[in-house]
Amino acid sequence: MHDSLSRLIDHWKNDPNGTYQTWFLWEERLKNFRSIRRGIGQVVKEIQADRFGNAYRGSSLETVVRSVAEQRQIFKGADHAFLWKPKLRIPDIYENPENQRAFARLLDACDCCTTAEAVLDAIHEIDSKGIKGLGPAVANLLYFIHPTLVCPFNTAIVKGYNAVTGAGVKLGRWDHYLSMREGLLRLNQQHRKVLSNDLGAVAGLMFDVGSGRYTAPPLVDDAAAEQAWLEDLHRVRSEAATLTQQLAAARSNDVTHTRMQAWLRDMGHALGFDVWIAANDRTRRCDDGLLADGCLDQLPGDLAAVGDSVRLIDVIWLDKQAKCAVAAFEVEHSTSIYSGIVRMLDLALGTQPGVGTKLFLVAPDGRQDEVRQQLTRPAFSRVSELDILYLPYGELECHREAIVRFGSGLKPVMALAQRLGG
């Protein structure tokens, strides 16, 4: 089949009406990549700010998807998967805010990452949520973010891929899409001299076969081809199962982390301080609202000038009048303390002398020895002079309600903390 497919590729590339000539080499194609990626970023921002609304028509997503659908024949009809079907109530990202935010996290994660592993992790995560009607058609958006890592997806591409490889990929399932991606990457590698690192090329070839423009080369061994596809499918399913377990543990950790931040937020307000929540956690759901409800929208000028890392400290309490940081808290549920310590170092060493911000590591009760051991590493040689304090979860849980009701100032929290340095 290799020689036959090579001949087909040569014919396809020289066909003036094939997707290679009419779309892949289209001079406007790369400009569209930039504009579509910007549009995806706008969708993410609106969802994160709770400004997206609950309708597809007139939304920023409609603008982006229509831009994709206008990408000539290979993407014709790409908007169908995102159109709201009222009788089926799919795709369920318009009337379900949690699903909408999960969709935004997928787009944002792929927009920010640079590796295939990170893209696949994001896909496995959205697949694990089982959002009704939100399937592999989303890959048509992800392709415009990572064209060398994600291949386009539609009925004709699937049909062409099955015809060329003898596979049995089905529409609407992420595991089948990922198995097709594996096979296309392999085909692309086998014909790397005449195709492209951009997976749009090989997808365009599959599209032209699947839409009937070309006949697929005869398969030498159908049984072997089917077995190769089944192995791809088994591998991606196994990877998805492993990642699902990891994601479940990570979500549990996130819930605990958010709960600790919420306790510290409420304590800070009750003790008379302004409160800052880490910039990347502000839109996390907490009880009936957002984690950052009632907190500062931005850091005061002196703190903001220290550096971006300070904005990512989990919780900061600030004096209402002086606008200076009184206490900073890093919640370390299960991960290493490195990044949190670096952020607090930036805060302590970057603020004005004499402020005396108290620094706290908030962690499970059993992590004190582990945290103390990590602080002895040479990388943290300057930490001992900061007098970082350890605040166990258990102490917070036992005393937070009393502190909220009867406390004032920093003294009640200092009474619960334990010293780590020295």
HEC assignment per residue over 19-63 = HHHHHHCCCCHHHHHHHHHHHHHHHHHHHHCCCCCCCCCCCHHHH
Task: Report the pLDDT value the prediction gives residue 181, as an integer from 0 to 100.
Answer: 96
Q: What is the pLDDT of residue 267?
A: 92
SS3 label, residue 327: strand
**What does the pLDDT read at residue 354?**
47
State residue 85 phi and psi, 5-degree precision. -105, 100
Using alpha carbons only, give the angle 364, 368, 374 rounded to the nearest 5 degrees.
115
Once rounded to an integer, what is the mean pLDDT over residues 13-32?
85
Per the CB < 8 A criterion, the answer to whether 277 and 262 are in contact is no
Tell whether the model's pLDDT for residue 385 goes beyond 90: no
Residue 398 pLDDT > 70, yes or no? Answer: yes
Least confident of 72-76, 102-106, 168-172, 249-253: 249-253
Mean pLDDT, to the nearest integer, of 121-131?
92
How confident is the model at residue 221, as a pLDDT?
58
Q: Where is average pLDDT lowest: 107-111, 119-123, 378-382? A: 378-382
Percent of the chain with pLDDT over 70: 84
pLDDT band (50, 70, 90) for residue 347 = confident
Q: For residue 381, what pLDDT band results from cuts at 50, 70 and 90?
A: low
Q: Is the pLDDT of residue 371 over 80?
A: no
Tens-digit pLDDT profile for residues 315-333: 999 999 888 899 999 888 7
Q: What is the pLDDT of residues 291-308, one digit of tens each?
A: 999 999 988 877 877 767
216-239 mean pLDDT: 65
pLDDT exceeds 70 at position 130: yes
Answer yes or no: are the C-beta atoms of 144 and 37 closer than 8 Å: yes
Write phi, then psi, for 251 (nearest 5 degrees). -65, -35
Q: Is the pLDDT of residue 378 over 60?
A: no
Asked if pLDDT for residue 210 goes beyond 70, the answer is yes
Least confident range of 178-182, 241-245, 292-296, 301-305: 241-245
Name which of 122-126, 255-259, 341-345 the model is least confident about: 341-345
The bridge status of strand 358-363 relative to strand 389-392 is parallel
Q: Dihedral (C-alpha) 132, 136, 139, 140: value to the nearest 10 degrees?
A: -90
Query: In this predicted structure, which of 100-114, 144-158, 358-372 has the lowest mean pLDDT?
Result: 358-372
CA of residue 5 relative to chain centroid, distance: 37
pLDDT at 245: 66
pLDDT, position 287: 79
pLDDT (average), residues 97-114:
92
Say if CB 188 and CB 199 are below 8 A apart. Answer: yes
Q: Would you state the pLDDT for residue 352? A: 52
Instruction: Determine the average pLDDT of the residues in 88-100.
Output: 93
Lowest average pLDDT, out of 68-82, 85-99, 330-344, goes to 330-344
DSSP state for residue 304 in the 8-state scheme: H
Q: Which residue, among 315, 404, 420, 344, has the nearest Cα to 412 in the 3D structure?
A: 404
Average pLDDT (254-266) is 86
d(CA 63, CA 56): 9
Assign residue 227 a region: left if phi > 0, alpha if psi is -120 to 50, beta otherwise?
alpha
Residue 161's alpha-carbon distances to 80, 205, 216, 245, 358, in angstroms, are 21, 9, 9, 31, 61
Taking only the tens place, the pLDDT of each residue in 42-54 is 899 899 888 898 8
Query: What percent of the chain is predicted at pLDDT more than 90?
Result: 40
Find the helix packing angle between 97-112 and 29-48, rounded to 10°: 130
According to DSSP H, which parts of 191-299 are helical? 200-210, 222-270
Closest CA to 409 of 358, 334, 354, 342: 358
Please name the residues in contact with 418: beta carbons below 8 A apart, sequence gap of 6 or more.
368, 389, 390, 391, 392
Residue in 227, 123, 246 with CA at minimum distance from that of residue 178: 123
Q: Where are the domains of the chain?
A: 2-220, 251-419
**What is the pLDDT at residue 147?**
96
pLDDT for position 137: 94
The whole-angstrom separation of Cα 277 and Cα 114 is 27
Rounded to an integer, the average pLDDT of 350-379 is 72
Whether the CB-CB separation of 297 and 359 falls below 8 Å is answered with no
* Tokens 């959002």 found at: 131
